[in-house]
A = this chain, B = another copy of it.
Amino acid sequence: MAEGQEVPNKQVVLKRYVTGFPTEDDMEVVAGIARLAVPPGTPGLVLKNLYLSCDPYMRGRMTKHDPPSYVADFVPGEVLENFGVSKVIASGHPDFEVGDLVWGVTGWEEYSFAPKPESFFKINHPDLPLSYYTGILGMTGLTAWAAFFDVGKPKKGDYVFVSAASGAVGQLAKLTGCYVVGSVGSDEKVNLLKTKFGFDDAFNYKKEPDLDAALKRYFPEGIDIYFENVGGQMLDAVLLNMRKHGRIPVVGMISQYNLKKPEGLSNAIMILAKQLLVEGFLVFDHFVKYRKFEEEMVGFIKEGKISCVEDIADGLEKAPAALIGLFSGKNIGKQLVVVARE
């Protein structure tokens, strides 16, 4: 493919700002055009996008924020973006060559122009499935690893509870010698946690009318670390069941993203009574640790100590449905979209 040629470029654009639960119709797949050249004198990259990650935090970007949120809002009529795996097909930057495999924030489209190449990581282990760099070896894996170890400060024997637990955290906790229980939204996922991921126990929160009672059953001694992905009623029930000096890394609150009015949290006083540490964690400040994380996690994967389950949507046309599916828990394991395999 000659550099500089213009090619069709399928794109996923936001149609309108969203309130409440997003639908596929809030997005549109359109036929764009990409020019496969770096503008002369600029240091950017032209990327062919291979795998795109679907992440719950994207919901926040579909709403207009004033004042601005921690990450820029999407713009109606413009292409969505998120972390993904791409191949460099034209480079204006000395550190990147045509053919390099990279991961970073790219467009929900077939080809993207990346004006800031330094925000991309080269993929050091292309012998592993490239798609892993959308999840377990990408943004969500780094989030799990850094938030669990830096904020959670796990010790052997700690009681660890993970909500929306089909990611890496529970497995990292098991490797650390913790007692680990996860909550998920289907019996199939419960089975995944108990058989493939090695959790000590797991439950389907949709079958638990009383979350406090469920947690008391699974953690009669209480919880040392709650890895928070969901917020709302689950957090409220967890607060009642934390142990003294427990830690709560907060990396997501997916149950709240589509509510017009958040659920009120009633048990905040437990933060005081139990001397809890609750800390919000966003990955953006932690990319400096990426190479250390990558080597450690690659080691775990190659030794078979960490398993990764992926839910792969095939083609950009499926991207809107894949993203929406996160909020009903349709996906089993990491949800991603394959745009092209190489």
- Please list the residues of chain A having a beta carbon within 8 angstroms of any beta carbon in chain B: 60, 69-70, 231, 235, 244, 250-253, 256, 261-282, 285
Nearest B-chain residue to A267, judged by Cβ: B262
Inter-subunit contact B250/A271 (CB<8 Å)? yes
Nearest B-chain residue to A274, judged by Cβ: B280
Nearest 5 pairs of A and B residues by beta carbon: A264-B264, A265-B265, A272-B280, A271-B280, A278-B278
Inter-subunit contact A266/B271 (CB<8 Å)? no
Contact partners of A60 in chain B: CB under 8 A: 273
Inter-subunit contact A251/B272 (CB<8 Å)? yes
Contacts A244-B70, A275-B282, A279-B275 given: A266-B268 contact, CB under 8 Å? no
Nearest B-chain residue to A273, judged by Cβ: B70
Q: Nearest-CB distance from A226 to chain B (Å)? A: 13
Inter-subunit contact A266/B276 (CB<8 Å)? no
Inter-subunit contact B244/A272 (CB<8 Å)? no
How many copies of this kind of chain does the complex include? 2
The answer for the CA separation of A14 and B63 in the assembled complex, in Å, is 54
Nearest B-chain residue to A242, judged by Cβ: B280
Contact partners of A279 in chain B: CB under 8 A: 271, 275-278
The answer for the CA separation of A186 and B282 in the assembled complex, in Å, is 39
Q: In the complex, which of the residues B253, B261, B265, B269 contacts A272, with contact meaning CB atoms closer than 8 Å?
A: B253
Inter-subunit contact A266/B264 (CB<8 Å)? yes
Contacts A274-B70, A275-B279 given: A268-B269 contact, CB under 8 Å? no
**14 pairs from A and B in contact (CB 8 Å cutoff):** A251-B272, A252-B272, A262-B267, A262-B269, A264-B266, A265-B268, A268-B268, A271-B278, A271-B280, A272-B280, A275-B281, A276-B280, A277-B277, A277-B279
Inter-subunit contact B231/A269 (CB<8 Å)? yes
Q: Nearest-CB distance from A27 to chain B (Å)? A: 23
Q: In the complex, which of the residues B253, B270, B271 contacts A269, with contact meaning CB atoms closer than 8 Å?
A: B253
Contact partners of A253 in chain B: CB under 8 A: 268-269, 272
The answer for the CA separation of A273 and B61 in the assembled complex, in Å, is 12
The answer for the CA separation of A106 and B273 in the assembled complex, in Å, is 22
Q: Nearest-CB distance from A205 to chain B (Å)? A: 18
Most buried by B among A274, A276, A280: A280
